[in-house]
Amino acid sequence: MPQLLLEFFSEEIPARMQPRAEADLERLLSAALKEAGLGWETFSTFAGPRRLGCVIEGLPAETEAVREERKGPRTDAPEKALDGFMRGAGIASLDQCETRQDKKGEFYVAIIDKPGVKTADVIASAVPDMVRNFPWPKSMKFGEGTKAQRWVRPLQRIVCVFGGEVVPVEVFGLTAGNVTEGHRMHGPGPFTVTDFADYTAQLEGEGHVLIHRAAREKLILEGAKKVCAEAGLELIEDAGLLTEVAGLAEHPVPLLGQMDPDFLDLPPEVIQLSMKTHQKYFAVRDPKTGELAPNFVVVANQEAPDGGVAIAAGNARVLSARLSDARHFWDNDRKTPLSEMVASLDKVTFHQKLGSVADKVERVAALARELAPAVGADPDLAERAARFSKADLVSEMVYEFPELQGVMGRYYVMEQWRNPPSGPSRPAARAPQDEVDGDNKVPHPEVRPEGASKGEGLTNLSESEAQQIADAIRDHYKPQGPSDAVPAAPVSAAVALADKLDTLVGFWAIDEKPTGSKDPFALRRAALGVIRILLEGQFRLRLRPIGYQSIFDLGWWRYFRATGLETSKIKESFDYKFADSAKQALIDEAIQSQSELAGFEDAIDTIAYAQEKALDLLAFFADRLKVHLKDEGISHDVIDAVFALGDDDLVRVTNRARALQGFLDTEDGKALLAGYKRAANILRAEEKTDGEGAFEGELDSDYAPAEAEEKALIAALESVRPAAAKAVGAEDFEGAMAALSQMRAPVDAFFDKVTVNDKDGMLRRNRLRLLAMIRKAAHTVADFGRIEG
């Protein structure tokens, strides 16, 4: 069957756009061909610096002919109805119709024969529309009139060959042909092609172009490892950089360059990031020491006559200039006391409704101190680490390299612990996240760690304590993705949890939650981060009180700030264990000083609001936990069933859900679930008459079971209920499931042999109570009513 070869040849396509462009090309063209009724065997795409294309194997020469029948009006219908039917069916005469009979009488059926359409014509129609509406993240406009284009870069040629013949697609004033170009220097061409095999052979041969990204990535990786090994060095692999570089070179040639070894005194993350971000170089390490080597690998797009010596030297000069800038930032930042950086956070707005980053630091520090015991951290170290955690946001290095937030903070803490800064300091740089709100900014107290001085309050720490604080500053942003490690050290975990929980609580308090696919503040990632830290560290933490108390505090904090009260009084009254009397005194002063403040009555409702938002936030955590546990095979309804009991300890919830899913996957579990649902359905129907909860409670003292199956069920319930409750209390959820499994046979037998709605009132009442006991026993573990199936 015929093959379609399609190529769009243009000026350089940004590397980061190429993978998505391949996916969009396949999606759009597939949709157009399917709509026309075409099928195919294989569809593959390719992209490079100057081309985007695809090859489709197994397309038919034309679409299938279609015979369509359209039912019309009765044969004795009015003339206007018949005329309308013919127009709609696209027929000129009723002679083109058949007459058929049904119980209502005789009616017309239009027979419409649609001949097949040549696939080449379908392609010629579909491709121009696809090109004009191609969803590039950013595109350029160029040309005028019929030649006006909107494409990622100026489009120069189109190759469109179907079954060995050119399909003359016309778009942007260009007419498709069968001619393409190769590498600019080594094999520009042009090359006339007949199919994809010919296209590949010519371009990868005389054209010196590797068409597929995977092939370029393989060549780059193997070549980079080879040049490093020849010099006794080791390549530091970077999958993201490899993909990007493969999109920059059609004929990649890895070269080993040398950098000035004096720059190795910079933090290695700075060197690697400068190489990767600005220059697209791979870093290299010395395998003997594991440290960075004064070398790099650059990928050229040509085979130079001198073997790449001049290219490597030129790139080394550019890298030196970049690293000179980095050294300047590094030296300046080390001269600035961390206390000044922390105080400068006052000028950086976190969110207009949530105050500055300094406000956030205050909240995170208080919460980190409260969380510390739960994760085994020292409360003082956790609070101090939190107070320093955002300091590097106003450093020059992080302003230049935002990706190094946290990383640089760690270096500054250790540097200033070893060498306290002295002499005059310069103003801290503006952070990249700056959005200064001017007159609308909420005032807040100066943020300076207790005991801070030019020594930053670090000199009184042991090296181990300073290291814990430094590591916490580096790690508190983690995890930033599913493959990122979670902070395991206690102080790091405390600060990371506090930072993420404060962010979630804050945005829930101001009702800025994720909607649909939009999540501008990365709240889903923050929630998953909290989940992973708690589960991987097995940290026992109740989320609802934290959410409630934090939202409550945040509401009053914002209100008191608006009243203009002395911030020292606010700080004294607002910790997570404040006395009601202290809070009430502050409230009374706020009322007295700002009685006319609009919206104060609404502020009084903070308690109810906090409760509502805390429950909503807990539901959000439940949704994120479903996503996290999906790969384990735990269904969403099982998570719902466990959360329905009101538990908010994610470790316990997860353990219970795992045990429940395992139980439901067994025959005993499936049978018991069916029995539970039958009991619940009967109770639901009878409670409509007798009232909700009418059958809760113990059996009547004078009740005498009439059937053996009743006696067996009563005996099973007397055994299972305490056993399941005891196991749940000990968090032995597998044991609880094992206890529940003992009810399967008695429940099945009860429903087989016993009539629940007996005419005898006492029998009916007590048998319904038995069903309520079954339901209650199951609810010891989870709300089985929320489980599907």
Q: Could you read off the pLDDT of 484-509 as tens digits, one per residue? A: 899 999 999 999 999 999 999 889 88
Both structure tokens of 385: 């680490």
Helix (H) or strand (E) holding 611: helix 606-629
What pLDDT score was predicted for residue 296? 95
Spatial neighbors of 100 by CB under 8 A, at least 6 apart, are 106, 107, 109
Residue with tokens 């396509």: 13
For 518-561, the DSSP string reads B-TT-HHHHHHHHHHHHHHHT---BHHHHHHHHHHHHHHHHHHH
Spatial neighbors of 589 by CB under 8 A, at least 6 apart, are 565, 569
What pLDDT score was predicted for residue 345? 93
d(CA 265, CA 33): 59
What pLDDT score was predicted for residue 476? 95
pLDDT classification of 696: cutoffs 50, 70, 90: confident
pLDDT classification of 57: cutoffs 50, 70, 90: very high
d(CA 750, CA 745): 9
What pLDDT score was predicted for residue 262? 93
pLDDT at 51 exceeding the cut of 60: yes
Can you list the pairs that 586-593 forms with residues at least 24 positions away whose Cβ atoms lie under 8 Å?
586/560, 587/556, 589/565, 590/559, 590/560, 590/563, 590/565, 593/563, 593/564, 593/565
548 to each of 523, 556, 712, how far by Cα in Å? 18, 12, 46
Give mean pLDDT, residues 524-528: 94
d(CA 22, CA 4): 16
Q: Give me the torsion for CA of 731, 735, 737, 743, rounded to 10°.
A: -130
Which of these, 185, 213, 189, lies nearest to 201 by C-alpha position?
189
pLDDT classification of 146: cutoffs 50, 70, 90: low
pLDDT at 99 exceeding the cut of 50: yes
Q: Could you read off the pLDDT of 390-442 as tens digits, one per residue? A: 999 999 999 999 999 999 999 999 998 888 766 444 444 444 443 333 333 33
d(CA 146, CA 418): 68
Q: Could you read off the pLDDT of 584-622 as tens digits, one per residue? A: 554 455 445 444 444 444 444 556 677 778 888 888 999
pLDDT classification of 63: cutoffs 50, 70, 90: confident
- Residue 577 has phi, psi (to 5 degrees) of -135, 35
- Residue 9 has phi, psi (to 5 degrees) of -105, 125
Both structure tokens of 603: 């502020």
The rounded mean pLDDT for the chain is 85
pLDDT classification of 443: cutoffs 50, 70, 90: very low
Q: How many other CB atoms are found less than 10 A from the CB of residue 587?
A: 17
220 to each of 155, 216, 235, 301, 601, how far by Cα in Å? 28, 6, 11, 11, 66
Q: Could you read off the pLDDT of 243-296 as tens digits, one per residue? A: 999 999 999 999 999 999 999 999 999 999 999 988 899 999 999 999 999 999
pLDDT at 66 exceeding the cut of 90: no
Is residue 565 within 8 Å of 589, Cβ to Cβ? yes
d(CA 381, CA 468): 8
SS3 87: helix
pLDDT at 533 exceeding the cut of 50: yes
- Rg of the chain (C-alpha set): 36
